[in-house]
């Protein structure tokens, strides 16, 4: 029977199939961060277990580290957060795993640095106790988010026990228009199918519009798969993928690299392979998109209105009424960052809008690059000057304002336009009203003082 | 892990869709590197008014639900962040089961790993449930209504299995797999 890309990855990692329908799947790489990884590592140490292969386990500090330039080694942005940083560092040393520490040159958000360092590779299974691990499927890896207890299991046994998920393919035909980005495509898809729309499926993104995306844009698209309840997302690797990975710190070299290239050629869905759900989206239908509510599925095109059948609890939280025009909504905050949109191409897109302009008075505008490497690359191009001159703060890498863990954030009631992935109640702070959008829309809105289509500036 | 076999308890209705793990435990409530002591943070955004005053409107603050051991909800319960703290907070509060129309995938697995039953029922079945609910997991019955659960998850819960110990019994097969894999895909190990 013809196989899907996911079937091939699943079969290649299946250690054994159990009678109850579960399989034991081999795990090639585990990534941890200080917020949920610290507890997994400490629990391993307390129970007397050891990592099966510590060199395949990586930890970074991203979730609650300070985002101020010149930050200290243990400095958290949240009160009491330093304990997560020191616990992760100590446990990483004790267990002998790879640690990318706060002050390391390679530090950054796990889903930004894993591709950047060549840790995520086509054909690998990779898990992390973080729901946005699905991002890394953009490289053709089978990567998914798990809990801390499953992370312990993966580290100690080299496997995870799971039932094969159903499969979905979303083929995006045609080409995205000049003003539509991978973020708009992601929001468009989630709005179309709903927050539970992917039904716990492994979702393969395919089609000409997906092939045309850069690796960074593919990471943005796959990042948001969890927001419509996917098990994960995956894109078949191609020449762009291998060109992206070549020479990166943890990528294979020499003859191993040649062997990898040969193996990666087999990572595609065969012509007659069948999916449980097979959908087609027209790229031409995708417009710049923004959310109005408290679920990523509550999204409309930027020139649109809050729908007539809008959920009342969401309207009440967001301070909106049915029929309200999105672009008329005044904002108090703008944020560019997060594992969704904090890579160099995202910062370039925002800087293009900001160049020579000023953020409207009274708006708190913040940019936090996804990794220190992205930050340095942006500075080499002078992007930091553009952000600063426009009135944006320029932070040090981390998950920053995407979620609130105490400490500094936007004031209660503030309407914030954000390049992040979740607009849940309280996600960015108590009563903060988050509208999700692309970096270009965030930049344009910060200039205009209200939600704004960059094309109208 | 405490086995889950039969349980009768007070069921608190939280009948909204998409209750995410940020609501179940806001990140600011995750104060220690530990799996216990998290019940104060459970639904903190809704349970407390400003200054940590009890919000009398919130369901878990209203008798009889103050002693709830079951939560009933709508679609996609536990979506969002992978934080297992959401499950640890529920467990610490005394919750033994969540009954919903569907679950976030990671949350569902986290429940099973911690001895909490995440039972899926349709909207019509859920509507019939009252304040006190009886769950019989071996017979897959909730107040006499049937529900589905994967056989592996059922066994994990009813037997209170430690997943790592179970898997380590297969250590020889796992090591054999990795030796063969290394021969075949050497680049993965370079």
* Annotated domain spans of chain A: 1-286, 293-456
Whether the ω angle into residue B64 lies within 30 degrees of 0, i.e. cis, is: yes
Q: Is the ipTM of this complex over 0.90?
A: yes
**CATH number belonging to domain A293-456:** 3.30.499.10
**pLDDT score, position A176:** 98
pLDDT, position B50: 85
- Closest CB to B82 among A15, A78, A130: A130
Q: Do domains A1-286 and A293-456 have the same CATH topology?
A: yes
> For the segment A141-158, what is each residue's pLDDT rounded down to a tens digit?
999 999 999 999 999 999
Which among A147, A159, A295 has the least Cβ separation from residue B82? A147
- How many residues are there in chain A? 457
Which regions in chain A score pLDDT beneath 50?
none
* Partners of A365 in the β-ladder: A334
Give the pLDDT score at A170: 98
Token pair in block for residue A151: 């992370």
**Residue A138 per-residue DSSP state:** G
What's the pLDDT score for residue B16? 93
- Contacts with B86 (C-beta within 8 Å, 6 or more apart), sequence order: B21, B24, B25, B78, B107, B110
Chain B partners within 8 Å of A422 (Cβ): 20, 22, 80
CB-defined contacts A:B, below 8 A: 165
| Cα gap A153→A150, rounded to integer Å | 5
**What DSSP character marks residue B103?**
B
- Across the interface, whether the CB atoms of A195 and B76 are under 8 A apart is answered yes
Per-residue pLDDT at B32? 87
CATH code that applies to domain A1-286: 3.30.499.10
CB contact under 8 A, A28 and B188: yes
Q: How far is CA A290 from CA A55, A349, A424, in A?
A: 41, 17, 14
Query: What stretch(es) of chain B map to CATH 3.20.19.10?
Result: 6-159
- In this structure, are residues A31 and A119 in contact, taking their beta carbons and an 8 Å threshold? yes
- Whether residue B99 contacts residue B142, with contact meaning beta carbons closer than 8 Å, is answered with yes
Question: How many other CB atoms are found less than 10 A from the CB of residue A239?
Answer: 8
- Residues of chain B with pLDDT below 50 are none
Domain range B6-159, CATH architecture? Alpha-Beta Barrel (3.20)
Contacts of B183 (CB under 8 A, 6+ apart): none
pLDDT digits (tens, 9 = 90+) for B24-55: 999 999 988 999 999 999 999 999 998 899 99
> Hey, are the CB atoms on A406 and B28 less than 8 Å from each other?
yes
């Amino acid at each position: 029977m013809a196989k899907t890309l996911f079937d091939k990855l699943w079969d290649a990692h299946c250690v054994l199939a159990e009678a109850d329908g579960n399989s034991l799947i081999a795990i090639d790489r585990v990534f941890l961060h200080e917020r949920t990884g610290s507890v997994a590592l400490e629990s391993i140490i307390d129970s007397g277990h050891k990592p099966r292969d510590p060199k395949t386990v990586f930890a970074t500090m991203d979730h609650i580290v300070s985002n101020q330039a010149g930050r200290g080694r243990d400095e958290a942005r949240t009160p009491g957060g330093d304990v997560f940083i020191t616990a992760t560092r100590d446990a990483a040393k004790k267990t002998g795993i790879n640690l990318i520490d706060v002050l390391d040159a390679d530090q950054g958000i796990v889903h930004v640095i894993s591709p950047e360092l060549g840790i995520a590779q086509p054909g690998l299974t990779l898990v992390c106790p973080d729901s946005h691990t699905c991002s890394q499927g953009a490289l053709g890896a089978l990567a998914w988010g798990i809990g801390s207890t499953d992370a312990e299991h993966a580290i100690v046994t080299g496997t995870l026990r799971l039932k094969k998920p159903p499969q979905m393919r979303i083929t995006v035909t045609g080409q995205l228009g000049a003003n539509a980005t991978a973020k708009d495509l992601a929001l468009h898809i989630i709005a179309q199918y709903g927050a539970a729309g992917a039904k716990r499926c492994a979702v393969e993104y395919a089609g000409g519009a997906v092939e045309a995306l850069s690796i960074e844009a593919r990471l943005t698209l796959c990042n948001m798969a969890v927001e419509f309840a996917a098990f994960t997302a995956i894109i078949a690797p191609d020449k762009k993928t291998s060109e992206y990975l070549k020479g990166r710190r943890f990528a294979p070299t020499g003859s191993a690299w040649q062997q990898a290239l040969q193996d990666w050629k087999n990572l595609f869905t065969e012509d007659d392979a069948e999916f449980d759900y097979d959908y087609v989206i027209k790229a031409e239908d995708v417009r710049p998109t923004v959310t109005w509510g408290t679920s990523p599925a509550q999204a409309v095109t930027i020139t649109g209105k809050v729908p007539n059948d809008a959920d009342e609890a969401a309207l009440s939280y967001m301070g909106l009424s049915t029929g309200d025009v999105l672009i008329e909504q005044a904002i108090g905050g703008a944020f560019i960052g997060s594992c969704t949109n904090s890579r160099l191409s995202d910062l370039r897109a925002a800087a293009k809008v900001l160049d020579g302009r000023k953020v409207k008075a009274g708006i708190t505008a913040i940019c936090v690059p996804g990794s220190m490497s992205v930050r340095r690359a942006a500075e080499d191009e002078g992007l930091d000057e553009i952000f600063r001159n426009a009135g944006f703060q320029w932070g040090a890498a981390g998950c920053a304002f995407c979620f609130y863990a105490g400490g500094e954030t936007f004031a209660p009631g503030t309407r914030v336009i954000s390049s992040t992935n979740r607009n849940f109640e309280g996600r960015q702070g108590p009563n903060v009203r988050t509208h999700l959008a692309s970096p270009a829309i965030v930049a344009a809105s910060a200039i205009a003082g209200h939600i704004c289509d960059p094309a109208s500036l | 892990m405490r086995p889950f076999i039969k349980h009768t308890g007070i069921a608190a209705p939280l009948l909204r869709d998409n209750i995410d793990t940020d609501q179940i435990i806001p990140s600011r409530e995750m104060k220690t590197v530990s799996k216990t002591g998290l019940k104060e943070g459970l639904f903190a955004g809704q349970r407390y008014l400003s200054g940590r005053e009890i919000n009398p409107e919130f369901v878990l603050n209203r008798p009889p639900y103050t002693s709830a051991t079951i939560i009933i909800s709508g679609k996609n319960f536990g979506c969002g962040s992978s934080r297992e703290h959401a499950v640890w907070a529920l467990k610490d509060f005394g919750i033994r089961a969540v009954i919903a129309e569907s679950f976030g995938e990671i949350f569902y697995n986290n429940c099973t790993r911690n001895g909490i039953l995440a039972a899926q029922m349709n909207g019509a079945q859920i509507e019939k449930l009252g304040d006190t609910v009886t769950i019989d997991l071996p017979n897959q019955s909730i107040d006499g209504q049937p529900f589905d659960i994967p056989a592996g998850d059922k066994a994990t819960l009813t037997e209170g299995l430690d997943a790592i110990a179970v898997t380590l019994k297969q250590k020889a097969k796992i090591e054999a797999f990795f030796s063969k894999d290394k021969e075949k895909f050497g680049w993965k190990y370079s």
